[in-house]
Amino acid sequence: MIDSLKTKYWTVDKSLDNLERHPAIIEAANIIKRNDVIAFPTETVYGLGGNALSDEALAKIFHAKGRPSDNPLIIHIATCSQLGAVVDAIPETAKKLMTAFWPGPLTIVLAKGIGMSDKVTAGLPTIAVRMPDDPIALALIKAANVPIAAPSANRSGKPSPTDATHVRLDLDGKISGIIDGGMTNIGVESTVIECQSNTVTILRPGGITKSQLAKVIPHVSEDAYFITKDHVPKSPGMKYTHYSPKAPIILVSGDAQSIQKIVNEEKQAGNRVGVLTTKENVDSYVADVILACGERQHLSTVGAELYATLRQFDLHEVDLIVSESFPKVGIGEAIMNRLEKAASTHL
């Protein structure tokens, strides 16, 4: 497989009308049609997209990311008419959720359609599907006229990209193109769920919160994996170390004083120490690098800036990052899930 591609770069203003006919979108869609892969924005994070019906395209996605082949991909669609080819059947519970949350950051795991490749599902009998809420993503899927398989457009193990420059850093020369549509809004990935009759199980917390789901389907639970880590996670991606900047993260649940104490100890040990905090608390610390990630009062801003902040620590070349914790409510559940997975130590 080719490892030094010339990666095309397009900047597209997502507020334009008729994006499906935008020359950059047409060019990118043609690349998808010839089974090559490109990165594009969604409302959550940038995706690395390829024709979901082509084993050749799927192999290129796994190769470019360095992704383990047992971690299945999410299929992105632009209209519900595309579902017929992707899934086998749509239970009533799923229909209600699609009506309520699509387009949007909700991925639904359903029985796999017979025509879909085992490469997409990593051999599972189920397939994950979502309709992204981003005009560029929707225009690209429509112009390509195929469902698009897309994991987050980062090298495996790195924080997901929330800006086209992150994609460039990870995948330049490894993919055919990058559509730059600016910073993504939500910043953490979609919520992955499974549904049974009248119940929903969250396999990965994300952009749609538990309480939002509960307004549509009253019984919402979490995969047993989140309760005792002895269980194998139903979302295979959850078992990998993810979202990690270069430096190890110490995730602390105490107040600013107890965080500062850890910073002092690490500095005494000769380490260059970074602190991940929020705008409200930047003046509470003395450390080598202090980065504010959104506002604690508005957790959605922490979600939006989390991955970019983790990547910024790489540029500052810190030896370790001491991070504040966040309440596990609303989008805070997804934020803490990602921080806990990124962290090497929890105090």
Binding site for ligand TXA (CB under 6 A): 42, 44-45, 47, 71-74, 105, 107, 109, 121, 124, 126-128, 132, 150-152, 189-190, 192, 203-204, 234-238
Nearer to Mg ion, 100 or 183 (CB): 183
Nearer to Mg ion, 168 or 338 (CB): 338
The footprint of Mg ion on this chain (CB under 5 A) covers a number of residues equal to: 1
* Binding-site partner at residue 128 among ligand TXA, Mg ion, none, CB < 5 to 8 Å by type: ligand TXA
* Binding-site partner at residue 325 among Mg ion, ligand TXA, none, CB < 5 to 8 Å by type: none
Q: Long-range contacts: 198-206, Cβ < 8 Å, 24+? A: 198/93, 199/93, 200/93, 200/97, 201/234, 202/226, 203/109, 203/233, 203/234, 203/235, 203/238, 204/107, 204/235, 204/237, 204/238, 204/337, 205/333, 205/334, 205/337, 206/44, 206/105, 206/106, 206/107, 206/334
Nearer to ligand TXA, 107 or 278 (CB): 107
Q: How far is the CB of 160 from ligand TXA (least distance, A)?
A: 6
- CA distances to 85, 105, 258, 306 from 300, in Å: 35, 14, 25, 10
Q: How far is the CB of 239 from Mg ion (least distance, A)?
A: 13
Using DSSP's 3-state secondary structure scheme, residue 67 falls into coil
Chain centroid to CA 283: how far? 31
* Binding-site partner at residue 126 among Mg ion, ligand TXA, none, CB < 5 to 8 Å by type: ligand TXA
| Widest CA span in the chain | 61
Q: How far is the CB of 180 from ligand TXA (least distance, A)?
A: 15
From the CA atom positions of the chain, what is the Rg in Å?
A: 20
* Nearest-CB residue for ligand TXA: 237
Q: How far is the CB of 299 from ligand TXA (least distance, A)?
A: 17
Site for Mg ion in 127-166 (CB under 5 A): 152
Residues engaged in binding Mg ion (CB under 5 A): 152
